[in-house]
Amino acid sequence: MEATHIEEKEQQWTEVIRPKTSLFDLRLREVWQYRDLLWMFVTRDFIATYKQTILGPTWFFIQPVLTAVTYSIIFGGIAGIATDGLPRMLFYISGITVWTYFADSLTKTSNVFITNAKIFGKVYFPRLIMPLSIITSGLIKLGIQMLLFLAVWGYYLANGEPIALQWQVVLLPLLIGISALLALGLGMIISSLTTKYRDLAQLLTFSIQLWMYATPVIYPSSRIKGTSFAWVNEYNPVAPIVEAFRYMFTGVGTYSWQGLVYSASVALIILAIGTLIFNKVEKSFMDTV
């Protein structure tokens, strides 16, 4: 009996799982300890997306180019929507670059619980790792598409187009950060709700399409300024981000400090709500998935 007692006393546990004491407990220290796992998920997402495709990562360039060409033909050529004097390809790619990162991050984050239920049910790790890995892997894709945007931007600059970098370009990381926090917060909310209401996944796809049309991706905000639809841009937290990005690189568009403060405030509020709901649902979601 004494030997058994000594043996148990000498045991050192590597992991102790305890219930959370607060809905806002993010356990960021624990997330940092699992940073290798986060990077593994980032690598997995990046490689798995185009692993069995012929063109591979080239799709990172092909998709925005084809989308910009389509928009140029339909909205620029047929519909005749003005682009505030910017070349159509430059105008559309500038909007697509920012919007794609936000939309992809939101879509993938909103399916975290459903797509990873088997992993969550077998092994423990901070659940926040999964949505964070999605946001991070999206940054890699964004970086690649930024190269495409800069190539298009450089082409038109070299050909004498009246475009120029603005000093606000130093705030580009802020724009990306706001987009990431907004997508993360909304994604956690929707992901938590879809554990019970699967219809939200279908509704989200449709909603993102409508949201894009409510964002100055295919038209400049000046197009609807002063109209009965102006409120669409005023209350859309993504609109100031897209417009600011376009303005930073071309000098054309609307740059608004008030708009960016509004976007950041909305992102932080939604992130707080998303964190609360995510932390609450992760305790029992395996019973409903």
Q: Where are the alpha helices (DSSP H) in the chain?
A: 2-10, 28-33, 35-50, 59-71, 88-109, 112-115, 117-122, 129-158, 172-193, 199-213, 230-234, 239-250, 257-281
pLDDT the model gives residue 283: 64
How many domains is the chain partitioned into structurally? 1
Q: What is the CA radius of gyration of the chain?
A: 22
Which helix (DSSP H) or strand (DSSP E) does residue 227 occupy? none
Of 42-51, 60-69, 89-98, 100-109, give the lowest mean pLDDT range.
Answer: 42-51
Residue 190 domain-assigned? yes
The torsion region of residue 80 among left (phi > 0), alpha (psi -120 to 50) and beta comes to left
Residue 10 domain-assigned? no
Q: Which of 86, 216, 200, 104 is nearest to 149 (CA)?
A: 86
95, with CB counted inside 10 A (0-12, 13-18, 19+), is buried
What is the pTM assigned to this prediction? 0.84
Q: How does residue 147 score in pLDDT terms, banded at 50, 70 and 90?
A: very high
Residue 6 domain-assigned? no
pLDDT at 287 over 60: no
Distances (CA, A) of 77 to 70, 81, 85, 88, 252: 10, 8, 14, 9, 20
Residue 7 domain-assigned? no
Residues 6 or more apart whose CB falls under 8 angstroms from that of 185 comprise 267, 269, 270, 271, 272, 273, 274, 275
Residue 4 domain-assigned? no
Range of the domain at 154: 26-287
Residue 92 domain-assigned? yes
Q: How does residue 16 score in pLDDT terms, banded at 50, 70 and 90?
A: low
pLDDT tens digits along 79-136: 888 888 899 999 999 999 999 999 999 998 888 877 776 777 677 777 788 888 889 8
Mean pLDDT for the stretch of residues 263-279: 91
